[in-house]
Structure 1
Amino acid sequence: MKNTLVKKILADGQPCKKCNEVLERLAAASLIDRIDHVAVADERDPQSEGILLAAEHGVNVAPFFIVEDDEGNTKIYTILLPVF
């Protein structure tokens, strides 16, 4: 299983407040180590990895999670609780 977190950097260069809150909640629950990859959706760069992943999966909110199981199935989660 592979868990990817996509977090956002705002157009002014500031980190997304909600993204930081989710990261803090994951760390507090000792779940941060279950995140295999963090992709950044940088509003200043339309080719940033996170922007491309959001477009590929039809997601328009951040943060979001891409969960790939061992059989190649992918699920997208836009809220924290069902992921873990």
Structure 2
Amino acid sequence: MRITLVKKILADGSPCAKCRDVEEKLRENDQLRLIDETIIADERDSDSPGLALAREHQVNRAPFFLVEEEGQEPRVYTVYFKFVKEVLRPLSA
């Protein structure tokens, strides 16, 4: 399983507040170690890797998590608590 966190940088160059909050929750709950990669969706650069992933998976919210497992379609989570319940909790069990 490969987990990617996509977080946003706003047009004014500041980090997305919700992204910062979710990243802090991941850190507080010792879940950040389960994230394989963090990619930035930079509103100032329409070709940024995070915006490309958002377009590819038709996501218009940040942060989001992309969960990839061999032989399966990637799953996208835009809600932290649902992501924890369905992906991270089973990994920790």
TM-score, normalized by the shorter chain, greater than 0.5: yes
> 2:19 & 2:63 partners in 1: Cα distance?
5
SS in 2 for 1:61: coil
Please identify the structure whose Cα radius of gyration is greater.
2
CA displacement, residues 10-45 of structure 1 (integer Å, 9 cap, x when unaligned): 000000000000000001010000110101000000
Task: Please give the TM-score of this superposition, normalised by the length of structure 1.
Answer: 0.95
Q: 1:9-20, aligned counterparts within 5 Å?
A: 9-20=9-20
| Runs of 4+ residues deviating >3 angstroms | none
> 1:67 & 1:82 partners in 2: Cα distance?
13
> 1:69 & 1:28 partners in 2: Cα distance?
26
Instruction: State the Cα RMSD in Å.
Output: 0.9
SS in 1 for 2:5: strand
- 1:80 pairs with 2:74: no
SS in 2 for 1:81: helix
SS in 1 for 2:80: coil
Give the Å deviation of 1:81. 1.5
Give the Å deviation of 1:5. 0.4
Letter in 2 for 1:68: E
Paired residue for 2:63?
63
Q: 1:1-84, aligned counterparts within 5 Å?
A: 1-83=1-83, 84=88
Identity across the alignment (%): 49
More helix by share: 2
Size of the alignment, in residue pairs? 84
Task: Please give the TM-score of this superposition, normalised by the length of structure 2.
Answer: 0.87
Gaps of 5+ in 2: 89-93
